[in-house]
Amino acid sequence: MARVLREDTDHYAALITAEMGKPITEAHAEIEKCAMTCEYYAEHAPEQLADRPVASNATESAVVYDPLGVAVTLTGSTEVGAIVAAQAAALKKQVLELGGSDPFVVLADADIEAAAATAVRARYVNVGQSCVNAKRFIVEEAVADAFVAAFTTAAAELKVGDPTDPETAIGPMARSNLRDTLHDQVRRTVDAGAHLLLGGEIPDGPGCYYPPTVLDHARPGMAAFDEETFGPVAAITRVADTDEAIALANRTEYGLGAALWTGDLDRARRLTRLLETGAVFVNGMVASDPRLPFGGIKKSGYGRELGAEGIREFVNTKTVWIGPAT
């Protein structure tokens, strides 16, 4: 499978871009990641372990509910995950990888230039339409002005346009209803008192485009803080100290991933234990890797995909005890 993907990468990448507007450079990277995942499991899993039934929207519920299936995994919205989770009543195992509102925490001793550059990638990759995109940027007040300036400048430089152009960073969103929901969240957040620093308006012309948008002074109770923003909108929250940063990072119904930026790695090790997420990336951005377990807590789901743990979710861990023969 990895070989097939790599032999026709251009075709598959073009398909992804045509279907959802993902910039072509990112589409190529996605194909390579799929190939890497195939290679990882081909090396570590038994032969003939996997097959791929093809189900349409009309038949997929029958596949999920079929008694021959003893387990099911879903990557999707929290709402659909709750429907699949109802199968727990039939004692059917599930792994659910659902939505997220990942915090990107920047403490006062962080490398602000590096943090801002990484934060822009973390928010706007895939046009901001990924469960693991950083969505809430929680920054200590002492460095907030510098971070906001660097972040906003970099976001303004992102090229918006034709997703088939390798230079494009922001293509159209996948669907018009996603854009409408996102714009409504932006308007409600601004109406509640947040400062609109960049973007925030639906452009004229065809396509479901939405510009890179930056909201400053977002707080709990505002849509862009409380809700998952699925698109190119960054909400920045200023905090007085580390304790408030961690408290607000955890103030969400989601718990997929978190990024933590600090120059003190001893403190980082302590703080990672306090963040209520399935993954914490220190001085980096949250990303999946075939070798690492991936999944969340709270309304981001349960169970783990990828890595050895991803396979163990769907095997029987059997204890065998053998006594003496005589």
Cβ atoms of residues 73 and 98 within 8 Å: no
- Alpha helices by DSSP H, 166-264: 176-191, 223-226, 242-249
Residue keyed to tokens 């050895």: 308
* CA gyration radius, the chain: 21
Structure tokens at 79: 């709402």
Quick one: the chain helix, strand, coil %, rounded to 5?
40, 15, 40
The amino acid that residue 48 corresponds to is Q
How is 110-173 classified by DSSP, letter by letter? S-HHHHHHHHHHHHHGGGG-STTSEEEEEEEHHHHHHHHHHHHHHHHTSPBS-TTSTT-SB---
Which helix (H) or strand (E) element contains residue 302?
strand 301-302
List the catalytic residues: 97, 131
d(CA 251, CA 226): 8
